[in-house]
Structure formats: structure tokens, C-alpha cells
A and B are shown apart, each in its own frame.
Chain A
Amino acid sequence: MKKRDFSTKKSLIILEKIRENLEKLNQKIEVMIELQKHGKPSNEPLADATAPLDVMTLLSMPDHLRKTAITVCRLGRATAEEVAQQTKRARAVESGYLNQLVLMGYLKKERQGRKAYFYVDKDDNNKE
């Protein structure tokens, strides 16, 4: 009985790892798709990693990215799921846009356990 419990637990751990890896792969594929659809070719250099997300930058962005970027500005720090709830678009779509904004240098991404949080790096340590 104990042996069976042990093997169930072990297979659950393996399944969880597979799920996590699949999620990471899925996010990478979404970014690649988005970059092909709207972004620059992958061999072109992306924006400076510290590009400020100010209103003039927001104005010059394509509509689909502006909506995502403003939502992150409003929420402060959010997961793709939370952004998707506000924009009423699919989580996977928002995940793609958010990762694209990270690649463009406008957002920062931080992992906490299984969740990925996106935020605007305000660099508040260097106040004027």
C-alpha cells in the first residue's frame, strides 16, 4: 500500500515538471509567433533594455501592445491572467504581448513559483 502511494506521488511530481516545461515552451512559442506577426525579425537588435514606458512611447505603439502596456501601468504588477481579465482578451494572447514588451525593454518579468509577474521598472532608487 505504502509502495503504491510512493509511486503515485513520484508520478505526480514528474507530471508537474512536464507541465511546467510545457508552459515555458508555450510562452516561448507565443513570443516567437507575436514577433513574426507584429515585431521585428529575430536577428534585428531589440530596444534598449531600460527603455522608459512613457506616454509618448505608448502613443507610438501599435494598438494591440498599447492596450497591454497601459493595463500593466494601471495594475502596477500583474500576471498575464490578470491583464487578460482587464483587456478581455485570451490569456495566451496577453502572455505573447507581455513577453514582446519585455523583449522590447519596456517591461520587466519576474518569476515567483509557477507565476510570472510583469511590471514597469520605475528605477525609483535614482530619484531626481
Chain B
Amino acid sequence: MGKIIAIHSYKGGTGKTLFSVNLAMTFALKGKKVCLLDMDFRAPSLHAILKAKSEKYWLNDYLNGTCSIEKALIDLTKLSGGKGKLLVGLANPSTEAIRDMSAKDRKWEMRALGRLLAMRNSVLGEMGMDYLIFDTSPGLQYSSINAIVSADIVLVISTIDASDVQGTKRMLTELYDLFEKKTYMILNKVLIDYTTKKGKEELSEKLGNSHSLPIFEIVPCFCDILKAGGTRIIAKEFPQHFFSKTLNRMAEKIEHM
């Protein structure tokens, strides 16, 4: 059976979608079957990065119970040059759909949780996917917590901004631990100086009590990634890039978990 990974953060703009897309691509380039879902229904973004559009059904429809998960997925294996398999479930970016998803009640969220949990059997079981990746919305939103509860591994992305680190620490004890999730922290957009041995010690001091943090990777801020403006998939287009190599290392660690 494959693994379900939720990519989450306390604040917005930390790089969840960047990591979700590139981690999915890294797995696909390794020949793995990956299903990537945009769980940020309030600010959908995968459609823009992958330049894709759903013909008829969106992920919203699956969670509404109006279609099967197979119908809500589109095959984008062409993006990995035919390597592995890359299925994507897009969140509907229309204002009407965003408004509709923001007004769901607790009973709907309960059913949505049931449908996400059922994907272990449908997507990993029947469809035989190796990885199911949830790109979530930041903070304590229903859709994010539903995804976290359904996942095996949570990758929480934080910048070194004090409010982000504090919020992430709080989520570690008051959210992920309560659901007994294997959680790993990725420090993103870190100054390149902090990636050296001495820099890491300095960073550790800056974060305060960092020994208790389950730090998975420290990723520097790259101007070329910022310049790309979310229009290029680094792992595919620049396999020798430091960022792509970091993702390869992450993928290997996840494979052996």
C-alpha cells in the first residue's frame, strides 16, 4: 500500500504548492505513480502552475459526492515526459465555487472527511497509486485538518519568520500530535548562509529550542525560483538545481519511512 502525504503550513506563502508540485514530479520522474490534490479550496493554485483545467468535474464535485474520484482526476503524466504516472485533482478556481466551499457546514465537512479517508482504498488500493499528496490551505481550516487526519505523513513548511515558527510549534503539539501523525518540518526560504554547519548552529539558536523540532530539510531561498513566478516545475526543468537535489533527498527519505 502507498503513502498519503499532507503538505501544510501555519501561514500562507511558505511554499506548500511549490513543494507539493515538485515532490510529486520528483516521485513521477523516479517512475512512481503519484496523485496530487489541490486541497486549498479558498485559494486554488495547482491549475495555474500546471496550466491545466478540468473538463467536467473538479475535486469539489468528489467531496460534494456528485462524482467518483476517478472522474475528478486528470492525467498529466505528459508533464513528467511519460515517466511514472501523475494524476491531478484540481480545486475549482471560480469565485462561485470558492464561495460555495467557504460556506459548508460541519455535517458536510464530516462527510468530506469520510470521502478523503475512503481514498486510501480507492486511490492507493484500487488505482494502485504509490503516493497521494494533499496540497492544503494554511492554518487550522477544515479542509486542511481533514487532509491531515487522512494522511500518513505531514510535511509542515515554515519560514524562519518568528510568527511562523511559533505558530508551527503550536500546531506540532496542538494539532499533529493530537492526531498521532508523523510530522516533519521543512524550513524554507532560509538565507543561504544558514545552510553551512556554522550557519545551522546559528539558525538553531535563532529558532530557540530547535532540538525538539523535527526538522526534515533546510531549504535556502533561490532567486531563480522566485523569478520563475510559479510557472516552471524546477524538479523537471532543472534536475541539477540544488532545490531539485533537496527534493530527491526528501523523496528517498519518504520512500524508506
Residue positions of A touching B, CB distance < 8 A: 52-59, 63, 66-67, 70, 73-74, 76, 120, 122-124, 127-128
Contact = CB atoms under 8 A, between A and B. Distances in A.
B64 A59 contact: no
Contacts, number: 53
Nearest to A53: B110
A58 B113 CA distance: 12
Given A55-B113, A55-B145, A123 B107 contact: yes
B114 A120 contact: yes
B146 to A, nearest CB: 6
A70 B149 contact: yes
Given A70-B179, A120-B114, A58 B149 contact: yes
Nearest to A122: B111
B109 interface: yes
A20 to B, nearest CB: 32
User: Which bucket holds chain B's interface residue count?
Assistant: 20 to 34
A65 to B, nearest CB: 12
B216 interface: no
A124 B179 CA distance: 26
A124 B118 CA distance: 15
B145 A124 contact: no
A113 to B, nearest CB: 26
A52 B106 contact: yes
A70 B110 CA distance: 12
A109 B109 CA distance: 22
A120 B109 CA distance: 13
A55 B179 CA distance: 10
Most B CB within 10 A of own CB, among A58, A67, A127, A128: A128
Given A55-B145, A56-B142, A120-B114, A128 B178 contact: no
Contacts of B109: 52, 54-55
Secondary structure dominating the interface of B: helix
Contacts of A53: 110
Nearest to B178: A59
Interface of B: 64-66, 104, 106-111, 113-114, 117-118, 142, 145-146, 149, 175, 178-180
B114 A122 contact: yes
Contacts of B117: 73-74
Contacts of A120: 110, 114
A127 B107 contact: no
A74 B114 CA distance: 8
A85 B23 CA distance: 34
B111 A124 contact: yes
A125 B149 CA distance: 25
A52 B110 contact: yes
A76 B111 CA distance: 11
Contacts of A57: 106
A7 B223 CA distance: 88
Given A55-B113, A55-B149, A124-B111, 16 more contacts: A53-B110, A54-B109, A54-B110, A54-B113, A55-B146, A59-B178, A66-B179, A70-B149, A73-B113, A76-B114, A76-B118, A120-B110, A122-B114, A124-B65, A127-B65, A128-B104
Nearest to B120: A74
B106 to A, nearest CB: 5
A122 to B, nearest CB: 5
